[in-house]
Amino acid sequence: MEDRKSMVPKLPTNENLTDLIKCYNFAAIKHKNQRRKDLEATPYINHPIGVANILTEEGGIYDLDVIKAAVLHDTVEDTDTTFEEIEENFGPKVRSIVAEVTDDKNLSKMERKKQQIEHAKRSSFEAKLVKLGDKLYNLRDLDCQTPVGWTEERVEEYFIWAKQVIDQMRGTNLALEAKLDELFSKHILE
């Protein structure tokens, strides 16, 4: 599965570059008043930008729809953004990927976590890439510091749960999976 089209760099055109900048701007506006739960309360937009960076720099992913979906992956879940807005601004493919990685906030946190494990295996290749990048970013954050209001036990539980999700997506991107496995080996007894 590793030799997919998304691994081949696409030369940016003016239109692609404009659309990508539009995407980053859209996400920045939507997340403008949000902060991460780290000690520095960093701007939330750092997270989706970081996920997109992980995909390109470490995963070798250059599919623009996947990168846009990574930048937008939390907008519907955490802001007033609708799937219709995503499709109107960035097309049906980006909407589809974002929809696959968006949790249903009407469900309890425990049920959402359970569904992520169950849905991971049957997600599209593109959605799996976004999930891998998202989990890698979050786990690196947790490896560096415990978020405000979290206990060490909660951090370890997150690692265990994240590994269950990742295990359902094995074979999607070996480079990202290797980075995740390094973190898991530090936090979870196999």
77 is catalytic: yes
78 is catalytic: yes
Alpha carbon 147 to chain centroid distance?
18
Structure token pair of residue 190: 């196999």
Of 38, 58, 63, 78, catalytic: 78
Question: How far is the C-alpha of 154 from the C-alpha of 14, rounded, in Å?
Answer: 45
Question: How far is the C-alpha of 11 from the C-alpha of 77, rounded, in Å?
Answer: 31
Alpha carbon 177 to chain centroid distance?
14
Distances (CA, A) of 158 to 80, 126, 135, 150: 26, 23, 10, 11
Nearest alpha carbon to residue 115 among 133, 105, 103, 124: 103
Of 38, 57, 58, 77, catalytic: 77
Annotated active-site positions, please?
Answer: 77-78
